[in-house]
Amino acid sequence: MSRNNGRPIGGKAMYKELRVPTAAGGLFVRDYAGDGPAFVMLHGFPDNLGIFDKIAPLVAESGRRVVVFDFLGFGDSDKPGEGYSFDQQAGDVLAVADALHLDRIIPVGHDAGGAVAVNFALSHPERTAEVALLNCFYGNSPSLRFPELILFFATPELFALSGHFLRSPARFEEILAFQRTEFREILGTEEQVDYDGFLAPLIDENFRRQGSGPAFAHMTAELLTEVAREDRNMPALERLDIPFRLIWGGEDPYLSAAVAEEIAKHLRYATTTVLSGAGHWPQLDRPAEVTRALLQDVDSGK
């Protein structure tokens, strides 16, 4: 495990970069010093730890410890080329918690990272202080609708065709452009400008420079099987004695606020905050509000 010197990002908060080894490769981690159970922030498949660049410093500036990292195959973590799965990602969370000597953590999962956060809590309740979910899924529900890009790569009958598109940068860019439009058009003018200037380049770089295509293909191929497994996990989830905080962008055209309501029905202790005007990435559209919801939930002792 190696570290570099701390550096500021977004304000006074400082972080240290390190690499955490696993059997399959090294994980790129940023660790913001602070107290209390660490907020460990988990990204989804199309992106990387950069989606937390706005809220990680804000949470850290409150005095809380924050850890963000790239799952294997994404961002600046190693890319073994195979073995990617939801179980592997839960193992990545455990590896980071162990390496940083975090006895208890608060997984903060966005998109597919939400499923990983829940799975971690189910497997390691003694290591989980609470869970925060941002515009994610867990199990089937009447309102669940996956983005077209994800569903295309998740459909077994289309694996040959989707693989063809993934191997062609030009064709894959056409699909990405379509999906960007679907997410972008529901946003307000200010959020669209931010989307164009921050999020779209982040996702493009994740695939083009950082080579996250193989991990994306593996994870999407496992998606429908994982959702079915989550359905079978519901009885265990309903017994879980851990607080959940659901913080949702109300304008998400896919993982809508209704999905949050349906997840909450399976939780013993849940609070839900819906942020008007925020889309699929509320931590980017409304970073101050998301930060406030995270800290208020923790500090209130609910």
- Beta strand 25-32 with 35-42: parallel, antiparallel or unpaired? unpaired
CATH number at residue 87: 3.40.50.1820
Which pTM was predicted? 0.93
Task: List the beta strands (DSSP E) in the chain.
Answer: 2-3, 7-8, 14-22, 25-32, 35-42, 64-69, 105-111, 131-136, 243-249, 269-275
| 267-283: burial string, b at 16+ Cβ within 10 Å, e else | beebbbbbbebbbbbbb
Place of tokens 């208020």: 296
- Give me the pLDDT at residue 12, please: 62
CA-closest candidate to residue 18, choices 105, 114, 101 = 101
* For residues 241-247, average pLDDT: 97
Q: What is the pLDDT of residue 171?
A: 87
Q: How far is it, in rounded angstroms, from Cα 234 to Cα 237?
A: 5
Total tally of structural domains belonging to the chain? 1
Percent of the chain exceeding pLDDT 90 equals: 80
Structure confidence at residue 302 (pLDDT): 40
Residue-range definition of the domain harbouring residue 271:
2-299
pLDDT recorded at residue 160: 94
Task: Please give the Cα distance from 12 to 289 (Å, whole number).
Answer: 19
